[in-house]
Structure 1
Amino acid sequence: MQHSDHAAAEAPQPHDHVKRLPILISLIIGAFFSILNETLLNIAFPELMVELNVTAPTLQWLATGYMLVVGVLVPASALLVQWFTTRQMFLGAMTLFSIGTLVCGAAPHFSVLLIGRLLQAAGTGLMLPVMMNTILVLYPPEKRGAAMGSIGLVIMFAPAIGPTLSGLILQTLEWRWLFFMVLPFAIFSIVFAFIYLKNVSVPTKPRVDVVSIILSTIGFGGIVYGFSSAGEGNGGWSNPLVYGTVLVGAVSLLLFAIRQLRVDEPLMDLRAFRYPMFTLTVILLMIMMMTLFSTMALLPFLFQGALGLTVFMSGLLLLPGSLLNGLISPITGKLFDKFGPRALVIPGAAFLVVIMWFFTRVSTETTKPTFLILHICLMVAISMIMMPTQTNGLNQLPSRYYPHGTAILNTLQQVAGAIGMALFIGIMTSGQRGFLEHSADPTSPAQMSEAVVTGVHNAFMIGLGFAVIALALALFLKRTQGAPS
């Protein structure tokens, strides 16, 4: 493991005289527009179902597939950041993302649109680890809270604001403009990074473990594909294709984990899990990503399918919470530097439990101001948990584990988001279908609205269970000071 250790440890030497702000701005610009695309289409799903003539579970692959590709690519990032410079990784990733954006905007039908989304996801999957690893290298542990808060402004604000922006755009323009409007900014980020982004590490080009790459791809891909297929109505979990792909994925991940612990130069060094706060961080953030992305997927269906709201009004309801979510992240980062994680994460997790319970009680009679307040509170709770937890967990790792720690976190967050979205939409669809099967008049608009509410209730009950688990885990958090290299 000498090569990988050296690659992670060599970076801090020249950074005292490096101008950090231009590098941070370069990363934030590129990250914002690539991560924005994870939820940009969510509020347009009901419209796209009609225009592209596809079902909700099929359409969800525009979001699930995006996160799946990111989750499959990120495990290799610990290796890639040692093979290529910061500039090469970032510029290559944003170029790939821009090509995918153009393909999406010009897509004549669903299959081409999906291909474009997967190209976008490939760019995002290569870019995310560069951003996280660069922050860890540039900033000492005592200043990382504020720096990570700035990144949190992107990681949390971008996907949260996606439905709002798309709602505003779709009010006057067709769905293709969701991509055409992003493209100029993606190109601008390439130009800006070309001028200002500096390299923070020197490539050492360690050995490429092809077997590990294959095992991680089959593992993460099989699990997410299985969960996604479970909601498509083809027998659910009784379908051999569903439980078969999950089983193959689980076995592949087990073999992947065993191999990482045995080879000299692991693709993703799982020894990082020996640090308890990092392990706790991984579990908490997986729960948070499942909650965030599944909620962003469920609310548009509830607003438009059950309450009869327009796309514009749906986006407007999500705007205040999305804005507040992004603005709070830098503040929670600074508070973390001063008070540690427990002062933020425990109250945030308790708040999340209360909010998720309220979401299980909503109905067609629930007022728009109530939904507005609930969404604002949800975004505040998630903001109090995510960045402080992530910073605290990464701080405990020695510098040689930075590439591997960021790869583990980014991979499992993306896969958890994909599984969460697939699981929650599958539960919603199943509940909706079950309600209509026992309805006296399943074609009645009122009954169809009630069916959507029933499905959403079922999904939010599971979300409430996850929130309770998050609160229990938060009680075990301890502040970390950083481990020696």
Structure 2
Amino acid sequence: MTVNEHAAAAGGGTESLEHVKRMPILISLMIGAFFSILNETLLNVAFPELMIELGVTAPTLQWLATGYMLVVGVLVPSSALLVQWFTTRQMFLGAMILFTLGTLVCGTAPHFAFLLLGRLLQAAGTGLMLPVMMNTILVLYPPEKRGGAMGTIGLVIMFAPAIGPTLSGLILQSLQWRWLFYLVLPFAVFSIVFASIYLKNVSQPTKPKVDVVSIVLSTIGFGGIVYGFSSSGGADGGFRVYGTILIGAIALLLFVMRQLRVKEPLMDLRAFAYPMFTVTAILLIIMMMTLFSTMSLLPFLFQGALGMTVFASGLLMLPGSLLNGLISPLTGKLFDKFGPRALVIPGTVFLVVIMWFFTRVNLDTSKATFLVLHICIMIAISMIMMPTQTNGLNQLPQRYYPHGTAILNTLQQVAGAIGVAFFIGIMTTGQSKYLAQSSDPKAPVEMAKAMVSGVHNAFLYGLGFAVLALVLAFFIKRSQGQAKPTS
């Protein structure tokens, strides 16, 4: 299939893709995505300073993170509709303008309410960014060349949040917290200018019917689940956690039932009729839970058991996270050449072995060992995530592209929120059981051993998920695109 034929199949019509230069479009998307995704992890290190300067408590300040995740979780499901209502340029520039405005509000915020407003505007821009980026790649590149392009996008997706905490730590050593936003602002403006010049429309809006009921159910469903699980780490649970999760689950069930009935669904769940897409969705849930559990558990282990500082633990995890992003383009090219099985099966085997090693760590384990283990697990995840995602989306017909990207991005948000709550809950339970049997539970050494025991329990569950991923990997077959759904 030629580029022009692919454009026609993709419903293009705004302009032919035959003479469109792909690289400037890809660069435009990457610049905007990098700085919007960077802000997901850039601010967390500044929380202690913000509590003092803004005069708020930790639970109140936590809304800067919870609210961010909540807006992204609510917006992503609706992106399937928005992508079909607006052009590529309108969606991307709209997302970046929202993000830039939010960054400006954050940097100049006189008090907490304005800072929260700015974070929510940033989240709105970020929530629209990933679906636009992935949908553009699907339309712009034919299936046999998507692996390399998706791998390049994967570099940004993994590199930006990995460098966030370390970069903010360096900035905060000599500058005020507002500079976390001031330094991002010129790059965000540059992204808007660059995209205005080079970003082209790659698909034609079809403007399907807006189903308000589906939007409301989606917002309550995904919003309730993401908020409930992301809030479950707090001291108080009750209705705020379990009630919102229950309400979200009921709304989500009603949402699914409605999507299968209406003629023009907000998120077409018939994409799950394609077997490789279904396998992809399950594997991505497992990978996101594994990734978020590792990113959450290791700082507890490093700081709570090994006595490392926040900055030192961030530096220890930085090489693995950076390498995960840097090898994504390589895994993308290998996917194009050899298909998914050559990467996903060895990757899941590698993941099982590394997760087993994590269940064996103790207080005597060296920092070098932790460094190597973290690098290895991030390489394994890189071998699995982007090739799996590309292969699953490749099987879908063009009309399902917006829905497929929205489904996968939504599942990743939900899996991340659930994964953090699930694994930290297991760690806390294991920690409490150890201390309950200890003769001196308040002794520092015993508390450190309790932390290790809790982390062991959590990684044992992680090992179980890794084994499940390995089983699923053997069901993966290379997608050639435009496959017929299973009955």
What is the one-letter code of the residue matched to 2:38? Answer: L
Deviation, structure 1 residue 170: 3.9
- Where does residue 362 of structure 1 map in the other structure? 361
C-alpha contact 1:101 1:179 (8 A) present in aligned 2: yes
SS in structure 1 of the partner of residue 42 of structure 2: coil
- Where does residue 100 of structure 2 map in the other structure? 98
- Where does residue 3 of structure 1 map in the other structure? none
Distance 1:168 1:470 in 2: 37
**What are the superposed Cα offsets for residues 161-202 of structure 1, whole Å, 9 maximum, x if unpaired?**
333333433444454433333222222211211221111123
Sequence identity of aligned pairs in percent?
80
Distance 1:134 1:160 in 2: 24
Q: Which of the residues 57, 66, 85 maps onto 1:83?
A: 85
- Where does residue 12 of structure 2 map in the other structure? 11
Moved more, 452-461 or 335-344: 452-461
Distance 1:450 1:383 in 2: 31
Change (3 A) 1:354 1:102: farther
Change (3 A) 1:343 1:151: same
C-alpha contact 2:351 2:380 (8 A) present in aligned 1: yes
- Where does residue 40 of structure 1 map in the other structure? 42
Deviation, structure 1 residue 367: 1.4
- Where does residue 4 of structure 2 map in the other structure? none
Q: Which of the residues 226, 229, 238 maps onto 1:227?
A: 229
Corresponding residue pairs, total: 476
- Where does residue 133 of structure 2 map in the other structure? 131
Distance 2:217 2:128 in 1: 19
- Where does residue 273 of structure 1 map in the other structure? 272
- Where does residue 471 of structure 1 map in the other structure? 470
Deviation, structure 1 residue 394: 0.5
Deviation, structure 1 residue 226: 2.5
Change (3 A) 1:448 1:174: farther
Moved more, 444-453 or 287-296: 444-453
C-alpha contact 2:226 2:413 (8 A) present in aligned 1: no
SS in structure 2 of the partner of residue 200 of structure 1: coil
Change (3 A) 1:450 1:8: farther
- Where does residue 20 of structure 1 map in the other structure? 22
Change (3 A) 1:106 1:304: farther
C-alpha contact 1:90 1:127 (8 A) present in aligned 2: yes
C-alpha contact 1:42 1:297 (8 A) present in aligned 2: no
**Unpaired segments of 5 or more residues in structure 1?**
1-5
What is the one-letter code of the residue matched to 1:471? Answer: L
Q: Is 1:317 aligned to residue 316 of structure 2?
A: yes
**What are the superposed Cα offsets for residues 430-482 of structure 1, whole Å, 9 maximum, x if unpaired?**
54455556666555444443444344333323322222221111111111101
- Where does residue 387 of structure 1 map in the other structure? 386
Moved more, 457-466 or 377-386: 457-466
**What are the superposed Cα offsets for residues 14-35 of structure 1, whole Å, 9 maximum, x if unpaired?**
1111111110000001111111
- Superposed CA RMSD in Å reads 2.8
TM-score (norm 2): 0.89
Distance 2:324 2:427 in 1: 26
Deviation, structure 1 residue 419: 1.8
SS in structure 2 of the partner of residue 202 of structure 1: coil
- Where does residue 198 of structure 1 map in the other structure? 200
C-alpha contact 2:10 2:203 (8 A) present in aligned 1: no
Deviation, structure 1 residue 112: 5.1
Change (3 A) 1:117 1:295: farther
- Work out which structure has the larger RCO, using CA pairs closer than 8 Å and 6 or more positions apart in sequence: 1
- Where does residue 395 of structure 2 map in the other structure? 396
- Where does residue 157 of structure 1 map in the other structure? 159
**Unpaired segments of 5 or more residues in structure 2?**
1-6
Deviation, structure 1 residue 372: 0.8
SS in structure 1 of the partner of residue 415 of structure 2: helix
